Structure 1
Amino acid sequence: MLLVSSCQTSKDNVDDQKAEHPNITKLKEQSKEFQPEIIQLNEHVYVAVGYDGSNTSMIIGKDGIIIIDALRALGAAEIVANKFREISDKPIKALIYTHGHQDHTGGASAFIGDTKGVTIIARNGFKEELQENSPVKPILRKRNARQFGRDLPEEDIINRGVTAGVTSNDRVGKGYIQPNLTFDDSLKVTYAGIDLHIYAVNGETNDGLYVWTPSQTTLFVGDNYYHAFPNLYAIRGSQYRDVQAWGKAIKEMNTFHADYLVPGHTRPLAGRDKIYKNLHNYGEAILFVFNKTIECMNKGYSLEQTVEHVQLPDSLKNSPNLQEFYGSVPWGVRSIFTHYVGWFDGNPTHLYPLSSVQEAKNIINLAGGESKMLEELNLAVKKGNYQWGLQLSDYLLQVASSKEKVTLQKIECLRGLAAQQINAPARNYYLSYANELKRQLSE
């Protein structure tokens, strides 16, 4: 029998924790989606990928150009606009915003220049749901910074799931120009000899649209599709995203049999069969999460039971375009559940729960006191049980006298979880929150 000393076992555990987690390796691979490049899809369509937080596209017509989406920072948009002009110096006839998020609208003036005679198209309700219109704007801004890792050192960022980790801060949003043509359900227009069929869609936003160009058999889908599991709920805080409508819209998009598909983030796709397959499993995954969540709710499952039961089948979960680099199945489930029934999940225990302080005191007493709970926290950290450690640290921070010691352990748990995360927003949030706690200790 081979005997292994406890010291050797402990050393092995430390070595295992230092080794790069496979999820981090996968997340690093996702960064290939954001390599800066002007990609030519066909004779008329070019897509700029990786120059900022989103993609922007150029369609070249007979006597002019159509731009779809306009990046986030004016400085980045100017770089891309110059590259586009090297390809064609025809005048801009129209610019289309696929939705109101700043990373798709902030650099418009770089492409348009003089707006006279340029049609700027968006859907009715454009930008209404954004955080600048919210009564809780301060906390949304803080959570936004955590999700995207905006305050993290550059070396701590891998990427943001569907964008590069570091994007331009050169005059963010300063090039935005308001739309001068809006529509409700659909719009068919022609610019520079290019027919555009534009359709309203509720997906990642409730002001979204997608564009079909029959002559180029190209579909511009905005943020309703990208190379990652869709962000059915944003942890920065967002209004409910209509998950069922989103899934149905993807299936509708797939009826066009596109030869080229341009997402709002990540690289475009080419090839009818490949596009059909990717849109098909995307729509299937979204509707599976929605339908399974509703099924569990109608069975009387609690929120946590529903989260546990809704898991993608292997046929979807293992698809390369459904990896949880950006969105997360459990986050989507929670969003659907609370949208339809609100905060109360049906369990009477949750009608009038104990205060967080009283619950913490009871749990700590049950564990045998603060010192025993702290021992358990230290053990959880040592074993790499970081989620359990986080929960224990939250109890202790409610009442503990040694808050600095507990906070340091909580920071280690947050960083430990970040080192295992395939989901970029979650990873960025863990690291950002850990850094905030570290700063608080030094103040």
Structure 2
Amino acid sequence: MRQFGVLGLAMLVALSANAADPKDATKATIDINNQVKEDLPFSDKKDFENAQKGFIAKQDVVTIKNEKGDVVWDLEAYKKYIGLDKPSPDTVNPSLWRNAQLNMINGLFEVTDGIYQVRGYDLSNITFIKGNTGWIVFDPLISQETAKAALDFINKELGERPVTGVFYSHSHIDHFGGVRGIVDEKDVTSGKVPIVASLGFTEHAVSENVIAGNAMGRRAVYMYGALLPRNEKGGVNGGLGQTTSTGVATMIKPTDIIKETGEERTIDGVKMVFQYTPGTEAPTEMNIWFPDKKALWMAENTTNTMHNILTLRGAQVRDALKWSSYLQETIDMWGDDVEVKFQSHHWPMWGQKDIVQYFKKQRDMYKYTHDQTVRLMNQGYIGSEISEMIEFPDEIGKSWSSRGYYGTLRHNSRAVYQRYMGWYNGNPSDLNNLPPADAAVKYVEYMGGEQEAIKKAQADFDKGNYRWVAEVLKHVVFANPESESGKALLADAYEQMGYQAESGPWRSVYLQGAYELRNGTPSAGGTTTASPDIIKNMPPEMLFDYLAVRILPEKAAGKAFAMNLNFTDLDEKYTLYVENSVLNHTKKLAEKPDVSLELTKAVLDDVQLGNITLEKAIADGTIKLDGDPNVLKDFVAMLDNFNFWFNIVTP
């Protein structure tokens, strides 16, 4: 799932206040950004018309706080410098600025009769469909605080109605995390309020954050620019929306599962037909057709931007070919009848012909990326070469909905290459190459030393060759992390690259890199990659896999033991084996384990959440232990703890 809620907004402001001042745009950056204005059809205002169509009301101030009074969402910070009447500053790519302006159009909107959206209350949209007796809610945002604020807002404007159903379009947290802000779990478990999702939702919603959660969370600081100031030299836009909320992310397990295309449901009088689209934007996802309204909800399978085939924070590579094939299926199923399409990000579109043309461009955007990458790959080009060569035809490339505000053609083409060919590019020198710090020392030596490298890099910086400056100076910094002049010039290069970036995440990555070069790697804050609801929904097997990646081989070396676990509330039993410095698990129980534990999954969850220590749980009998307690102590001692704030732009 996406890694959100990295830092509280109050901490962000405090850290940013002490940051080194960013620089102005250089002439080279200004010239490049001015050329964007010439190359793209900025006179086309259709998106602005669509983004404002159906407007009902908005709140003057959209600042949302948690129970402690901490701000978890603040659109006001962006209003200070982004507006429909404000031209793009020199420090922002004009195309990205346009996207930010569109995403700042916030409030309550009517999509079509009985379908409403609240936009601008999180990275994603929350959709309300009017049933016979209440609201059916689609994708309740990231945080329970923002979802509750949106529900309160629509109830105030259109009359209070209970929530009679909830839908999760897919397994990313900005599409389910706010659920406890709109519904009580008792109403779900009693059957009063169904929660509908597609096959595999719970497994995928939980799993993506667990195994690689720490690394993904750290890189998400870069992708979403968590520490960037909210101004024209800092965070401007996240591509899919302005940014991410930082409230409490929750989850309630679905009660109804969609398993195949063509399934139908009628909830609170609203009829729906489903298209099951696994392996597209998420491992499990679904589109929904409302035949009585001729309205099509596209989840996140189409948005008003190019999406990611591989996210910059890290994830499994998505299948661009499969993604495009499902969009063709969407056209085949409902293209003749659709009158309005809407989704979980951005703004809707109306008109059958326009919608079908839009679907075709979205389809072909992913298909072209796939086909042309594979063509060039089969000509012998590697990922970095392909990303320089591949270009969209104008029909796709100059369509606003195909622009790279979130994904980009450059890194998506590399992702397609990676999916087929992996990390190795075929060149023998790259099969066992030196790690960055070791290679950097030799690079700098061959370049004539640190000062000579910086001198030459400065000359290239003055010419606007920022990509090359970054390539050279990363070696200087990795060879000598104390090189203040090297870090300063590298930060300046990253900054200009950020100012030029059309992609919100690319901008954030460059500017976050510049921030950390100038101010050092942060040590405060962090991210909770597994919230209480995520942990509670982890099956034991997933927990064991997570524990296995924490094994310290030097502490496990030479150890061999078996540990039986009996989860009395699940009626499930497992044996954990440690041998060969590896942890394995099985349901075939060891007959003579070294230690046995009897406990409930709920108790284990409390131990993971820090609500109770393992020692106390054993002492008070909450966990019953039989056998050698030293084996359990040895096991706990061999588990590694991950440092969230590991270095990225320095070694």
RMSD: 2.3
Distance (whole Å) between structure 2 residues aligned to residue 305 and residue 439 of structure 1: 34
Task: Select which of 186, 199, 207 maps to 1:124.
Answer: 199
Distance (whole Å) between structure 2 residues aligned to residue 127 and residue 392 of structure 1: 45
Higher normalized helix content (fraction of residues): 1
Asked if the contact 1:100–1:127 (Cα under 8 Å) also holds between the matched residues in 2, the reply is: yes
Structure 1 counterpart of 2:198, one-letter code? R
> Who is 2:110 aligned against?
40
Task: Select which of 479, 492, 506 maps to 1:412.
Answer: 492
**What is the count of residue pairs matched by the alignment?**
428
Cα distance, 1:108 vs structure 2: 1.5
> Who is 2:147 aligned against?
77
Distance (whole Å) between structure 1 residues aligned to residue 521 and residue 131 of structure 2: 59
Task: Select which of 324, 328, 334 maps to 2:404.
Answer: 324
Distance (whole Å) between structure 1 residues aligned to residue 202 and residue 514 of structure 2: 32
Mean CA deviation greater in 13-22 or 25-34:
13-22
Asked if the contact 1:300–1:346 (Cα under 8 Å) also holds between the matched residues in 2, the reply is: no
- 1:322-358 CA-to-partner distances (Å, cap 9, x unmatched) read 1111111121111111112211122233222344455
Change (3 A) 1:30 1:441: closer
Structure 2 counterpart of 1:221, one-letter code? M
Change (3 A) 1:402 1:275: same
- 1:250-271 CA-to-partner distances (Å, cap 9, x unmatched) read 1222231211111211011111
> Who is 2:222 aligned against?
146
Cα distance, 1:133 vs structure 2: 3.7
Q: Does residue 241 of structure 2 align to residue 163 of structure 1?
A: yes
Mean CA deviation greater in 372-381 or 212-221:
372-381
> Who is 1:6 aligned against?
none
Cα distance, 1:397 vs structure 2: 2.2
- Report matched runs for 1:81-92 at 5 Å: 81-85=151-155, 86-92=157-163
Change (3 A) 1:84 1:227: same
> Who is 1:191 aligned against?
267
Distance (whole Å) between structure 2 residues aligned to residue 173 and residue 404 of structure 1: 40
Structure 1 counterpart of 2:99, one-letter code? Q
Asked if the contact 2:516–2:522 (Cα under 8 Å) also holds between the matched residues in 1, the reply is: no
Superposition TM-score, scaled by structure 2 size = 0.62
Cα distance, 1:300 vs structure 2: 2.6
> Who is 1:5 aligned against?
none
Cα distance, 1:418 vs structure 2: 0.7
> Who is 2:119 aligned against?
49
- Report matched runs for 1:289-328 at 5 Å: 289-328=369-408
Structure 1 counterpart of 2:139, one-letter code? D
Asked if the contact 2:116–2:127 (Cα under 8 Å) also holds between the matched residues in 1, the reply is: yes
> Who is 1:110 aligned against?
181
Mean CA deviation greater in 414-423 or 150-159:
150-159
- Report matched runs for 1:213-232 at 5 Å: 213-232=290-309
Change (3 A) 1:382 1:193: same
For structure 2, list consecutive stretches of 5 or more residues without a partner in the other structure.
1-24, 37-92, 524-651
Cα distance, 1:289 vs structure 2: 0.6
Distance (whole Å) between structure 2 residues aligned to residue 19 and residue 337 of structure 1: 32
Asked if the contact 1:302–1:347 (Cα under 8 Å) also holds between the matched residues in 2, the reply is: no
Distance (whole Å) between structure 1 residues aligned to residue 151 and residue 434 of structure 2: 57
Q: Does residue 102 of structure 2 align to residue 26 of structure 1?
A: no
Percent of counterpart pairs with the same letter? 23
Q: Does residue 223 of structure 2 align to residue 211 of structure 1?
A: no
Distance (whole Å) between structure 1 residues aligned to residue 400 and residue 522 of structure 2: 43
Change (3 A) 1:179 1:402: closer
Asked if the contact 1:152–1:432 (Cα under 8 Å) also holds between the matched residues in 2, the reply is: yes
Cα distance, 1:423 vs structure 2: 0.7
Q: Secondary structure at the match of 2:311?
A: coil
Q: Secondary structure at the match of 1:397?
A: helix
- Report matched runs for 1:357-396 at 5 Å: 357=437, 359-396=439-476
Structure 2 counterpart of 1:290, one-letter code? H
Larger Rg: 2
Q: Does residue 223 of structure 2 align to residue 135 of structure 1?
A: no
Structure 1 counterpart of 2:194, one-letter code? T
Cα distance, 1:90 vs structure 2: 4.0
Change (3 A) 1:383 1:158: same
For structure 1, list consecutive stretches of 5 or more residues without a partner in the other structure.
1-12
Change (3 A) 1:138 1:261: same
Cα distance, 1:364 vs structure 2: 3.4
Asked if the contact 2:341–2:350 (Cα under 8 Å) also holds between the matched residues in 1, the reply is: yes
Distance (whole Å) between structure 2 residues aligned to residue 280 and residue 18 of structure 1: 34
> Who is 1:95 aligned against?
166
Structure 2 counterpart of 1:150, one-letter code? A
Asked if the contact 2:438–2:479 (Cα under 8 Å) also holds between the matched residues in 1, the reply is: no
Cα distance, 1:288 vs structure 2: 0.6
Change (3 A) 1:14 1:118: closer
> Who is 1:68 aligned against?
138
Q: Does residue 502 of structure 2 align to residue 427 of structure 1?
A: no
Asked if the contact 1:127–1:207 (Cα under 8 Å) also holds between the matched residues in 2, the reply is: no
Q: Secondary structure at the match of 2:182?
A: helix
Change (3 A) 1:389 1:91: same
Distance (whole Å) between structure 2 residues aligned to residue 227 and residue 17 of structure 1: 26
Q: Secondary structure at the match of 2:272?
A: strand
Cα distance, 1:17 vs structure 2: 4.5
Superposition TM-score, scaled by structure 1 size = 0.90
Asked if the contact 1:210–1:221 (Cα under 8 Å) also holds between the matched residues in 2, the reply is: yes
Q: Does residue 327 of structure 2 align to residue 250 of structure 1?
A: yes
